[in-house]
Amino acid sequence: MALSALIRVMERAARKAGQRLRRDFGEVEHLQVSRKGPADFVTKADQASERTLYDELGKARPGWGFLLEEGGDIPGDPDKPRWVIDPLDGTSNFIHGLPHFAISIAAQEPRLDGKGWGEVTAALVYQPLTDESFWAERSRGAWLQDRRLRVSSRRHLDESLIATGIPFAGYGDSAEWSKVYRALAPQVAGIRRYGAASLDLAWLAAGRFEAFWEKGLKPWDTAAGCLLVREAGGFVSDWRGRSQPICDAEVLAGNDALHSRIHKIMIGALKD
């Protein structure tokens, strides 16, 4: 599949920001042994990545707004789309020298009634260290470079790997998460926590996981991943089963065979 002009713009910006993140990641590994530690350095790396993305995408699509993890909501022309960007998803991994993080970029259209934001129409999740570029456009499918992606065809829970995000340090509801884990874990082949929601969703689209659940995320964490999963043939909803353009406060994503079954397990667990 030939890349559209929009995806080319997104990929060019992501690769430019990714070059800097690769260099900074090498420095972080050295900073692990310093007294000061890497946290301040990583903040600068995150901000530098965001600035690169902002500059590149702003030049390519003048008038578009931005929703940025660091910079917040920057309004543009209300009749034009906006960019939803996480410049470094997996910051904790980055800080600790773990090679699992990504850049996430999504293009979101304004609603026709002028009240807020509607569908995500283009998405890209880029892993700088592996040079994997997961991308999707509405009605054009999901792709890894030039290879078409399709969610896993596994239909049995006991064959399935499920990804999740685990509550930590004041974030999330540990008791609620534990209820879902206790109900689901005995029925599946394994549960994984890698620490970068955008990559979890991209990997689900690529068939590496069968499902993913997490609560308390932000739009920039999931905007691109939601479209990737849907265009790869999967389903994304909140925990009530409602499909929204971006599911972030509650997200349950799965392949077409298992999403509804896992949703039922989750709802049953949360009623107890």
Same domain membership, residue 49 and residue 108: yes
Same domain membership, residue 227 and residue 192: yes
Same domain membership, residue 243 and residue 141: no
Same domain membership, residue 143 and residue 46: yes
Q: So what's the pLDDT on residue 27?
A: 81
Burial pattern 184-198, b for ≥16 Cβ within 10 A else e, equals: beeebeebeebbbbb
Which among 114, 148, 182 is the end of a domain?
A: 148
Reported pTM = 0.94
Where are the strands (E) in 54-160, listed by range? 65-68, 72-74, 82-89, 102-110, 117-127, 132-137, 141-144, 147-148
Tokens 């399709």 locate to: 150
Same domain membership, residue 142 and residue 22: yes
DSSP 168-202: BTTBS-HHHHHHHHHHHGGGSSEEE--S-HHHHHH
Same domain membership, residue 179 and residue 262: yes
Q: What is the CATH number of the domain that holds 259?
A: 3.40.190.80
Same domain membership, residue 171 and residue 133: no
Q: What is the CATH number of the domain that holds 102?
A: 3.30.540.10
Which domain does 117 fall in, by range? 5-148
Same domain membership, residue 162 and residue 213: yes
CA–CA dist 60, 218 (Å, integer): 25
Same domain membership, residue 19 and residue 58: yes
Which among 125, 148, 171 is the end of a domain?
A: 148
Sign of CA dihedral 263, 265, 269, 272: positive
CA–CA dist 200, 63 (Å, integer): 31
Percent of the chain with pLDDT over 90: 81
Same domain membership, residue 214 and residue 161: yes
The residues that bridge with 254 in the sheet, in sequence order, are 211, 235
Same domain membership, residue 12 and residue 63: yes
At position 246, the amino acid (one-letter code) is: I
CA–CA dist 63, 43 (Å, integer): 27
What is the domain count for the chain?
2
Same domain membership, residue 142 and residue 62: yes
Spans of the chain, pLDDT less than 50: 33-36
